[in-house]
Structures are given as structure tokens and as C-alpha cells.
Amino acid sequence: MNEAISLHINKCRTYVDFMLKQQQWSGLTKMDIDQWLSNFKNLSPDESLLVYKLLANLIYYSEADVIEALKEGVHKCLYYDSILKKQIDTGFSLSQKALSNVIQEELEKSCFVPLLDSDSPHESGNYVTRTLVQQGIIPQERSLFIDKLPEYFSSGSISKLVIVDDCVGSGQQLSTFWKCATIIDGNSVITLQDLCAKYGVEAHYLTLFGYDANLRKLQNTFSNLKIHCVRMLTDAQRVFSDNAYIWKDSKERTEALKLFGELCQEANIPLYGYANLDFAFIMHRTIPDWSLPLFWMENADWKLLVRRKNSHG
């Protein structure tokens, strides 16, 4: 093996070992990594380097990263306007305790519901609301399911609805939930967006991670839903985009596209994820299906790296 290639592969291996030992890739084990790497047999040194480059450049959010993103989402994204107004009114003299009180006041007027996937109602958004409560970011009584909303809305105690999600790719799941999810309100059946309009409740969508191009489309599509994303992914973070950060130049990117395309074809799995997206993005114990399927699909010919929780956003 070429010495330079061997050195680069060893650096990638060292980096992966470090991330595992430091729990930066929480939820993954060395056994998971080795199992996934066993898919790549009889490769040339150059091809092996492409595999290790992809692995070492995973965008991975650990459990600690997810919790930090949730805190930022609630404290700095969701209530940013309210905090800014209070700061302006007081000449930016509010203490940290006073700022915390502003957030608590806003929480008392808010309720949080998980964005539920009809194909897998127990996953994704539920994980986010559960973590919000467990970490003390929101009070337990502020976390609801949508069937309870009419009772709270009609009482006049709630002025803000927050739909929470882990990540958004195409936005189709959000669109379906917002426009089509139905709720019994008295003697009638009403959609979520119409329920908010009926009671004058301000609606927000808070997601931890999302693809910036699709988020811009969503923000232009929903005039009656304020959209907040804590961490945005760009085209540069897509594996096979023209300006992908993983590869040193277009030649190497083309070689990677050819290699992984052939391997996926042989294993009978798609190369691209949902909506033709191609991220190498994983968050603690789950992965969206707009990341490359070679990370999360499995069959007799292919071993997965991390199991998915059936949310494509």
C-alpha cells in the first residue's frame, strides 16, 4: 500500500477510535463500526481510503449535542423575539435570573406537541418531547398530544403551540401533520392549522436539524407557521454535491460516487436517501432516511451502521 494512503487511513482510524472513546459518537460502538466496515471487501488502497474518508467525516450529534441543541432551540430560537423585546424595554439591563423568568413566563403560555409520523407514531418527535421534559427544559405539563389541544386552547391559557421534531429533510411530514392531522373539537373534526386559527394560537415548528434549502422553501410555504431550526445543514455537507467538503477535489468525488454507486447496486440498496438527498448525518441512536442508505439499510448482503427510527421529515 502506498505509504501516504496508509498514513491517511491510519489517521482516519485513530480519529474514529477517539470519537468512540470520548462518546462523541454516543450510541455507536467499535463493534458497530467493524461490522459496517466488513461490507467493503477486496478494495484497492485508494478505494479503502474513500470508505475511511466517508466514515471519518460523519456529521454526528451525540446525546450531549442533542440536549444542548434543545436548550438553544427553546431559549434562543423559540423565545428570541420575546427576550429581545424585554431587553430593549429595559435598556439591555436584564440579569440572567430575569431572563430565565422571561422564559418561564413564556413556557406557561406554551404547549409542546411531537410531530408524529403516521407510519411510526412512537418515534422521532416523541423522543424530542421526552428529552425536553427529562432534561428540565420544559415542565412536564407543557408536553401534550394533539388530542388534548382543544381543552387547553378553549381555556385561553395557551397562546403558543410548538410542534417539535428531531430533524427535517424534505418537509413533507411537517406539511402532512400541519394540514391534515385532525382533532376532535367539541362536535366537529378540525385540522391542526384550523384549530390554531380558530383559537388565535400562534403556531411554531421547532426542529433540531434540517437541510437549509428545504427549510427556506418551508418558510415561504407556511405563512401561518413560524419555523425554527437550531442546526442547519448545507449542500457543502452533502456527500456527492459539487462542493462537498469530504473530498479533496472533483476527481476524488467522482471516484467516490462511482465506488459507492457500484457497491450499493451490488448490495441492492439505493445510493441516495429520501428525496434524493445524500447526507452522512447521524444523531444519537438514530439516523434520518435522507442520509445515505448505506449507513442504515440492511439485507443479506449489507450490514447497517445505525438503525433508523422511521422519520424522513
Q: Taking CA 145 as the corner, what is the angle to CA 139 and CA 150, rounded to the nearest 5 degrees? A: 100
Buried-state track 190-228, b at ≥16 Cβ within 10 A, e below 16: bebbbbbeebebebbbbbbbbbeebbeebbeebeebbbb
Residues 6+ apart with CB under 8 A from 239: 54, 246, 256, 278, 279, 280, 292
Residues 151-165, mean pLDDT to the nearest whole number: 95
Q: Is a pLDDT exceeding 60 seen at residue 258?
A: yes
Question: What stretch of H or E contains 296?
Answer: helix 293-296
For residue 39, count other CB atoms closer than 10 A to its CB: 16
pTM, full prediction:
0.90
- Per-residue cell: 252: 476524488
Q: Give residue 279's pLDDT band: very low, low, confident or very high (50, 70, 90).
A: very high
Q: Is a pLDDT exceeding 60 seen at residue 120?
A: no
Q: Give residue 223's pLDDT band: very low, low, confident or very high (50, 70, 90).
A: confident
Mean pLDDT of the chain: 92
Q: Give residue 118's pLDDT band: very low, low, confident or very high (50, 70, 90).
A: low
- Whole-number pLDDT of residue 122: 44
Q: Give residue 310's pLDDT band: very low, low, confident or very high (50, 70, 90).
A: low
For residue 97, count other CB atoms closer than 10 A to its CB: 7
Structural domains of the chain in order of their starting residue, each with its CATH number? 3-61+239-296 (no CATH), 63-233 (3.40.50)
What does the alpha-carbon distance between residue 96 and residue 83 come to, in Å, rounded to a whole number? 11
Q: Is a pLDDT exceeding 70 seen at residue 260?
A: yes
Residues 73-83, mean pLDDT to the nearest whole number: 91
Buried-state track 259-278, b at ≥16 Cβ within 10 A, e below 16: bbeebbeebebebbbbeebb
